[in-house]
Structure 1
Amino acid sequence: MYQDFAGVYDGLMDNVPYEQWAERLDTLIRKYGVSGPERDAEGVLDSEKNLVLDLGCGTGTLTELLYQKGYDMLGVDVSGDMLNIAMEKKEKSGSEILYLQQDMRELELYSTVGTVFCVCDSLNYILEEDELAEVFSLVNNYLFPGGIFIFDFNTVYKYREVIGNTTIAENREDCSFIWENFYDDEEEMNEYDLTVFVREEGEHFRRFTETHFQRGYTVEQMTGLAKQAGMTIVEVMDADTGQTVTEQSERVYVVAREQGKRRDS
């Protein structure tokens, strides 16, 4: 996934409010977390505590925005093509972000981190619940004592009632796409068939296709997996409104806290 599509991803996602998402993440980290550019009460900056991991970082847009807010950023993604674009942004901005190509189901860091966030429905790409449980366990393992995990996910309601079995098409000057959705209610699985036409030279366009699969999850499933991994649930909210989750919530934000480690362990 995200091979040819990586090259046009940012252009087709230009309607995503990344700045607003970065503000929300910063607010949640400052409210509940241990990370931050400020020094602690003893006047000593704990380097691990200030580390923030963008899990499923893609092309690094949010990673860069959080870096600009003063956090020491790491980015992990399974797609080398997406990370190549993130590295181009890093070179242009001069940031000191460390990017790692890893499958989040096999996450391996060199230290603990104060915060992990995984947004833009990255967790919906994990199709088996036992594999998702492993992701939560690994995140908890690498969280600094008292650190937080902020994640979002698309709900079953969104796939079944909003985008399932629909076709979305958009015609642009240099890039057009057809996005076909097929929802399997029994498996709670959504198939994305993407066909993209990219202008390469003059009036010549290159056509490519990619197929993506995402699974819908419920609040009960996601919070249950976080608790199973050893975390406590701090807050659950509707991602669009910032208010209480309803049956019509399409995307949900969850903040979970690591609670099992001691600082001297």
Structure 2
Amino acid sequence: MSSYSFLAGCYDGLTYDVDYAAWADYIEAHFSKAPLPGRTVLDLACGTGSLTRELALRGYEMIGVDQSPEMLAQAAEKNRGIAPVEPIFLCQPMERLDLYGTIDACVCCLDSVNYVTDPKKLARAFQRVHLFLMPGGLFLFDINTPEKLEGLDGQVFLDETEDAYCVWRAEFSKRSRMCSYFMDIFRLDRETGQWDRGEELHRERAYTIAQLTAMLEEAGFQDIRTYGELTMRPPKPGEQRVFFTARKEAQTV
């Protein structure tokens, strides 16, 4: 079963501890320093649209892109009727991003970059983001660091709510630099009272800061900076999550 096809229906419940308001605060802190005000914002790999919603409620014109139809169905329902501007959602893989116009900023959060396990596809995704950004526009994303992914090897986790139960184990391959998550998911059907079972396999690639910086530079980005998790300081040794910001060159008069 493909990633998120079964998990989508219970994803929000199982990730209840993600503080999307804090993530939005952090994004806005970077927007406030940007030379180009971020009004039209792309949420790349938007998932069920929780961050999209948080930013839309703060007045941003949001475009959500994800390659999972099941996750986008949840996102569209969650964001229906939001004022002042209801978000637009598109079903596309990152490397084939195709928008109807330009954007002021792009965010790609919750280690979605790690999910692009083919470096060539990730390089193309960065190029597509650069293409649609306005001059001076900001690209912000985060990654699970190699240290974090290596540390997950052999661990087993349990997440549960009243109507969902997920057991997952992680395996990290030093040869492929890939972390695989094997998930068994049980989801309650409230109409029948029965539990449905699904299995999913998720993979994340361990990218280094140097690798991603080189990809961003190759795509044409400038002023590339890295930060510790939800902070404005540089990453510390052993950091579990690192944030990147990069800018498209501003036009000169």
Tell me which of 15, 31, 34 is aligned to 2:33.
Answer: 31
Tell me which of 33, 39, 44 is aligned to 1:55.
Answer: 44
Q: Is the 8 A contact 1:78 1:102 kept in 2?
A: yes
Distance, in Å, in 2 between the alignment partners of 1:230 and 1:240 is 25
Offset of residue 235 of structure 1: 2.6
2:69 paired residue number:
80
2:118 is equivalent to residue 128 of structure 1? yes
Offset of residue 233 of structure 1: 2.9
Distance, in Å, in 1 between the alignment partners of 2:99 and 2:80 is 23
Deviations 1:89-137 (A, max 9, x none): 1225455111111111101011111101101111111112111111111
Tell me which of 3, 19, 22 is aligned to 1:20.
Answer: 22
1:138 paired residue number:
128
Distance, in Å, in 2 between the alignment partners of 1:262 and 1:89 is 37
2:51 aligned partner, one-letter code: L
Q: Classify 1:113/1:92 alpha carbon distance in 2 versus 1 (closer, same or farther; 3 Å).
A: closer
Unaligned runs of 5+ in 2: none
Offset of residue 33 of structure 1: 4.7
Distance, in Å, in 2 between the alignment partners of 1:220 and 1:214 is 17
- The farther-off stretch of 24-33 and 189-198 is 24-33
How many residues get paired? Answer: 249
- Percent identity at matched positions? 34
- Partner SS state of residue 91, structure 1: coil
Deviations 1:152-190 (A, max 9, x none): 1111110112x2221101343321110111110111101
Deviating above 3 A after TM superposition, structure 1's stretches of 4 or more consecutive aligned residues are 92-95, 261-264
Distance, in Å, in 1 between the alignment partners of 2:174 and 2:13 is 31
Q: Is the 8 A contact 1:33 1:115 kept in 2?
A: no
1:41 paired residue number:
none
1:196 paired residue number:
185
Distance, in Å, in 1 between the alignment partners of 2:18 and 2:106 is 21
2:137 is equivalent to residue 147 of structure 1? yes
1:110-125 counterparts in 2 under 5 A? 110-125=100-115
Tell me which of 37, 56, 61 is aligned to 1:67.
Answer: 56
1:173-184 counterparts in 2 under 5 A? 173-184=162-173
1:89-238 counterparts in 2 under 5 A? 89-91=78-80, 93=82, 95-161=85-151, 163-201=152-190, 204-238=194-228
Distance, in Å, in 2 between the alignment partners of 1:164 and 1:253 is 23
What value does the CA root-mean-square deviation take over the aligned residues?
1.7
Structure 1 length normalisation: TM-score? 0.89
- Partner SS state of residue 187, structure 1: coil
- Partner SS state of residue 99, structure 2: coil
1:243 aligned partner, one-letter code: R
- Pick 1 or 2: higher relative contact order, CA cutoff 8 A, min separation 6: 2
